[in-house]
Amino acid sequence: MSENTEKSAAAAAIPTQATSSPEPLLKVDNLVKHFPIKKGLLQRQVAAVKAVDGISFDVRPGETLGVVGESGCGKSTMGRLITRLLEPTGGAIEFEGKDITHLGVSAMRPMRRDVQMIFQDPYSSLNPRHTVGTIVSAPFKLQGVTPEGGVKKAVQDLLSLVGLNPEHYNRYPHEFSGGQRQRIGIARALALKPKLVVADEPVSALDVSIQAQVVNLLDDLQDELGLTYVIIAHDLSVIRHVSDRIAVMYLGKIVELTDRKSLYEAPMHPYTKALMSAVPVPDPRRRGAASGRILLKGDVPSPISPPSGCRFHTRCWKATDVCKTQEPPLIALRTGHQVACHHPENAPDQVPGETVSAEAREAVTVVSVTKAVAAEAEEPSEDIAPAEVTEPAEAAGPSEATEAGVAESAEAAEAPASGETADGDDTAAPAPDDAATPSGTSGDSPKE
């Protein structure tokens, strides 16, 4: 009897958040931002750039929402709207249940402590006239906050937290590399211990090795401080590594929203499928496997006059007449998987019986990439045949190719030294028969 009582007491002690999903930290409903185009002496509005045109999503505490899409689809504008750096044209933004859509500057000041932003360019987002200490301590001064132990100690702790030397407190931004400047921007965003951090392409301007450091730093800070991220990027590999859920944007609209695993394993929207086909997979085991690269024809339509109906129908290979007239709503076709498409992939057709239009059949090109595999292991000539040769009858045998390569290398080695430019440039005159010079043979070292 006592055991049953203890079990009942333990069950009652479990908080409700452990058995139900928490309330969203950020909720966006039908958010719209149109930039007016004005002309004439009286500056009358003649058109508008529909950068963000009715998007809805939410972000739960402790999760990372990734936002991907082509350049110009409205990702950065969306990030500036939810941080209230831009005034929305329409819709609603709620943070912790409070409507912040049209709050003024003074009313938004307390909210700035909980919502911060990491900007895209680490070179232009830092004032070159200010020291690192002044830059990172600016949030304390603007909010009137005096941290425990003093401002200088708090700034040095933040620098140490993001992997910088605290002794660099008095240095200027030009004395740091790109990755270090981005770390300074991250330290400034974390100064007031925010609940939500919007990172606008935080690694797009960095080298690949530095990208890995910054991405791992963001992950470590989220685990240590319990942060919630909205990360905007166009690198699908980075988004896959850091995100819990991913939203795909196209021309100011969210066309698909789901968790990371579902999006990469079974994308439903044709645009998402085209994006996924462009991601290289560094897996040597797939070297002999065939892969299809979907090449979309044409450019993204102008956000000033977007197409009617589904905005992707001008480049979609599944477009029908209904796609030209009716805009598909963003609905959940599976648990937690929302998509805006009349004819989705990996899901039942929402408008069956429609015929694919003639323009849609020519809107895409599928390029198959395969590796030639020898039919017989005892024939080495087929293994080393170049992939560019389309007529095997004209291809040279292995011995002939080797002798030709040796002859060309010898001729290139005997070429006069006058092929190099006078000012020490790496460019050399082309070898006979346009033979490519192997990399690394130049005696000049690259300029730092």
> Is 399's pLDDT higher than 70?
no
Residues 6+ apart with CB under 8 A from 96: 25, 114, 195
Cα–Cα distance between 137 and 176 in angstroms, integer?
18
Comparing 9-18, 280-289, 308-317, 383-392, which segment has the lowest mean pLDDT? 9-18
Cα–Cα distance between 75 and 116 in angstroms, integer?
16
User: pLDDT for 139-172, tens place per residue?
Assistant: 999 999 988 889 999 999 999 989 899 999 999 9
Assess contact for 48 and 36: CB atoms under 8 A.
Answer: yes
Average pLDDT over residues 291-311: 86
Q: What is the pLDDT of residue 368?
A: 58
Residue 249: phi and psi, rounded to 5, are -110, 145
Cα–Cα distance between 323 and 60 in angstroms, integer?
33
> Is 374's pLDDT higher than 60?
no
User: pLDDT for 67-85, tens place per residue?
Assistant: 999 888 999 999 999 999 9
Confidence of residue 8 (pLDDT cuts 50, 70, 90): very low
Confidence of residue 360 (pLDDT cuts 50, 70, 90): confident
Handedness of CA 32, 35, 38, 42 (dihedral sign): positive
Select the more confidently predicted residue: 11 or 38: 38
CA nearest 269: which of 322, 314, 316?
316
Q: What is the pLDDT of residue 198?
A: 96
